Amino acid sequence: MTATATRPSPPKPRTRRGGGGSRRNREMWVLMLPALVPVLLFSVGPLLYGVGLAFTDARATRNRDVSFTGLENVYELFGDADFWSSFKIGLIWSVSVTVLQFLAALGLALLLNQNLRFRGVARVLAVVPWAMPPVVIGLMWKLVYHPDAGILNSMLGTDVNWLADFSLALPAIIVVGVWTGMPQTTVVLLAGLQSVPKELYEAVEVDGAGRWRRFWNITLPQLRPVIVAITSLDFVWNINQFGLVYVLTAGGPGGQTRLPMLFAYEEAFRYRFFGYASMLGVAFAIVVLAVLGLYLWRQMKEAK
């Protein structure tokens, strides 16, 4: 921003095609309009309306008087044990999936960056989860975990109903979360690895640095911006996860895998508390903004 402001402006590049700035402006708006209308009407508008709804007692029922209730939904949310339990589950889920996903992806990216045989097989496989519809991923893992027809029990010689077990359901879906999200993180990290300048490695090779030293002193610091970016995004995506877990467990057993968005969905479309569920949305929007704000703040600090 400041760079463009201080640079001496070239002589009127904007009117190059003739017609003056206002005509160009009008042209731009005409071209943007068809895209702008649906976005404003069906996403920006509803988003703002949703924030408003959070401060009302709105229910799903039509033509019912809705009244402004101020911060009542906030108090109710903070006093709701079910909310706190889903918040806790959401954090456990999101942190574990993000961390495991990152570690697994980093390992895979490092392997794929070497000149190994069968690398191609792993490369193709690493993209497949990304290409699958989330619903199909959920159903596929349900087949793996199936108590009678599933392969997992037969391989381990166990007789466990994985997705219905109070203590095993959450770890079981975390594995699925890692499997699902790992490819994308791998691709991003691999791109990061490939952009590390080769000269840096050559320089330490002269010093006779071992593999680990090279990894700790060069690869990791060079990758840091990419790592911070992808883990922040992964965390946010994971905490907003819905479809995959809805298919796998629908939040059960006994709410043990009820992630925040599953909780919000139930409040809205099962118990019909539109206002209350919107407040939940606002709360999580704040969490998301905080994480992204932290990320942007760090980026700015580093840029200085």
Partner 1 sequence: MKRLPSYAALLAYIVFLAFPLVWLLSTALKTPQEMAQLDPTWIPREPTLANFSDAFGEQDLTGAALRSLVVAIFSSFITVLISLPAAYAMARYRSLVNRVAIGWVLVSQVFPFILIIIPLFMVLRELELVNTLPGLVVVHVTFTLPFALWMLQGYVRAVPPELEEAASVDGAGRLRALVSVVAPLLAPGVVATLLFSFISSWNEFLFALVILQDPDVMTLPLTLVRFTGPEGVARLGPLAAASLMATIPSLIFFAIIQRRLRSGLMAGAVKG
Q: Which residues within the stretch 151-190 sit at the binding site for partner 1 (CB under 8 A)?
A: 151, 154, 179-182, 184, 187-188, 190
117 by DSSP, 3-state: which?
coil
Q: In this chain, which of 132, 160, 218, 227 binds partner 1, going by CB under 8 A?
A: 132
Give yes or no for a contact between 102 and 227, defined as CB atoms under 8 angstroms apart.
yes
Whichever of 2 and 114 has its CB closer to partner 1, that residue is 114
- Chain centroid to Cα 256, Å, comes to 21
Distance CA 263, CA 241 (A): 11
User: Should residue 65 be labelled a site residue for partner 1 when binding is judged by CB under 8 A?
Assistant: no
Asked if 265 touches partner 1 (CB under 8 A), the answer is: yes
Q: Confirm if 142 and 248 have CB atoms less than 8 A apart.
A: yes
Residue 56, strand partner residues: 68
Other Cβ atoms less than 10 A from the Cβ of 229: the count is 14
Tell which positions 78-117 bind partner 1, by CB under 8 A. 104, 107-108, 111, 114, 116-117
Rg (alpha carbons) of the chain, rounded to whole number = 25
Question: What is the smallest separation between the CB atom of 109 and partner 1, expressed in angstroms?
Answer: 11
Return the number of other C-beta atoms located less than 10 Å from residue 192's C-beta: 21
Which range of residues in 164-172, 200-208, 216-224, 273-281 is near partner 1 by CB under 8 A? 273-281
Q: Tell me if 282 contacts partner 1 by CB under 8 A.
A: yes
The answer to the question of residue 299 lying near partner 1 (CB under 8 A) is no
Q: Binding residue for partner 1 (CB under 8 A) from 80, 99, 123, 225?
A: 123
Cβ-contact 77, 280 below 8 angstroms: yes
Report the nearest approach of partner 1 to the CB of residue 108 (Å): 5
What minimum distance in Å lies between the beta carbon of 265 and partner 1?
A: 7
DSSP assignment letter at 56: B
In degrees, to the nearest 5, what angle opens at C-alpha 101 toward C-alphas 97 and 104? Answer: 140
What is the C-alpha separation between 232 and 223, in angstroms, rounded?
A: 14
**Residues 208-237 contacting partner 1, CB under 8 A:** 230, 233, 236-237
Tokens standing for residue 114:
């070497």
- Cβ neighbour number for residue 242 with a 10 Å cutoff: 14
Q: Which stretch binds partner 1 (CB under 8 A): 124-132, 199-207, 217-225, 251-259?
A: 124-132
Total residues in contact with partner 1, by rule CB under 8 A: 97
Q: Which is nearer to partner 1, 200 or 237 (CB)?
A: 237
By the rule CB under 8 A, 34 interacts with partner 1: yes
Interacting residues with partner 1 between 135 and 154 (CB under 8 A) = 135-136, 138-141, 143-144, 146, 148-151, 154
**Least Å from the CB of residue 123 to partner 1:** 7
For the chain, the distance separating the N- and C-terminal CA atoms, rounded to the nearest angstrom, is 14
Joined tokens for residue 130: 């990304």
C-beta of 82: minimal distance to partner 1 in Å? Answer: 15
User: Among residue numbers 191 through 210, which ones bind partner 1 (CB under 8 A)?
Assistant: 191-192, 194
Identified binder of partner 1 from the candidate list 168, 240, 252, 253, rule CB under 8 A: 240
36 near partner 1 (CB under 8 A):
yes
Q: Which of 223, 284, 283 is nearest to 55 (CA)?
A: 283
